[in-house]
Amino acid sequence: MGVWQTVLQGDAISLSVALLLLAMSVVSWVVILWKGWLLRRAVRDVQLSAAAFWQAADLHAARERLGHFDAQRLVLPLVDAARTLEQTAPNTLAAAGDRSQQLTRVLRDALHAVLHRLQFGQTLLATVGSTAPFVGLLGTVWGIYHALTAIGEDGAGFRIEQVSGPVGEALVMTAAGLAVAIPAVLAYNVLGRQIARIEAELEGFARDLRELLLHRDKP
């Protein structure tokens, strides 16, 4: 008996568990493939954008150059945030404090917004990785319950064929839960390292940009 035949012979709860694991697997693989492609481009774009920025003659030219390299808009929000600071209305809390504090605030907010986009999907992968084994365990317990019920109904006269189906279903659910969880956990760790690398580069760029603008504003 094949795996699908073993699963399909179960009741509504068993089928629901199997469909839930299938949905979790499909969603997690979509996120894994999409984020893998996105972060690979993001690493390259951040490096090229930072290099293009510092090779420009002035801030206006740097902003124009970034438009050609920063396709994921990871560096541009930092530059735009610093530029919009000049348009802050006076006599407001946003304009309070010295120039250093204002730049720190706007660059921090822009950096957090960029990192929030990069982190999208990580929570889903962590959730799938931590819950899929327990969902599979639910199917396992339910299959064993069916096997024990069959034994209890027939007593000493039960046949192995009566419990082979529920036991096989239980084993399939355990394997399915692990098969869904393991790629999600591995992807979460690998993608998390890439995000941390991009975050470090963006933080360094934001710090250097802040120092540049402070030095430019000094008489």
Q: What percent of the chain has pLDDT over 70?
A: 77
| Cα 89 from chain centre | 37
- Out of 24-38, 50-64, 204-218, least confident range: 204-218
Beta strands in 45-204 (DSSP E): none
Q: How confident is the model at residue 161 (pLDDT cuts 50, 70, 90)?
A: low
What's the pTM value of the predicted model, to 2 decimals? 0.79
Alpha-carbon separation of residue 147 from 17, 134, 150, 161 (angstroms)? 17, 20, 5, 10
HSE, CB side, 13 Å, CA atoms: give it for residue 96.
3
For residue 120, report the phi and psi dihedrals to the nearest 5 degrees. -60, 130
The pLDDT assigned to 2 comes to: 47
Number of domains in the chain: 1
As a whole number, mean pLDDT of residues 124-139 equals: 91
The pLDDT assigned to 120 comes to: 92
CA dist., res. 178 & res. 157, Å (int): 35
DSSP 86: G
Tokens coding 188? 């979460």
Dihedral angle, C-alpha 10, 12, 18, 23, nearest 10 °: 160
The answer, yes or no, to whether residue 132 has pLDDT greater than 90, is: yes
CA dist., res. 64 & res. 205, Å (int): 17
| Cα angle for residues 29, 32, 33 (degrees, 5° grid) | 90
As a whole number, mean pLDDT of residues 167-183 equals: 83
The three-state secondary structure class of 218 is coil
pLDDT, the chain, mean: 81
For residue 158, report the phi and psi dihedrals to the nearest 5 degrees. -70, 155
DSSP 156: G
As a whole number, mean pLDDT of residues 45-56 equals: 89
Q: What percent of the chain has pLDDT over 90?
A: 36
CA dist., res. 34 & res. 104, Å (int): 32
- Out of 6-15, 52-61, 75-84, 107-116, least confident range: 6-15
Q: Which amino acid is located at 24 in the chain?
A: M
Tokens coding 108? 């921090």
As a whole number, mean pLDDT of residues 125-132 equals: 94
Tokens coding 88? 């802050």
Are the CB atoms for 85 and 107 separated by under 8 Å? Answer: no
Q: Which amino acid is located at 88 in the chain?
A: T
The answer, yes or no, to whether residue 200 has pLDDT greater than 50, is: yes
Longest Cα separation, the chain: 97
Are the CB atoms for 84 and 106 separated by under 8 Å? Answer: yes
As a whole number, mean pLDDT of residues 18-22 equals: 88
The pLDDT assigned to 68 comes to: 85
The residue segments making up the domain with residue 185 are 3-217
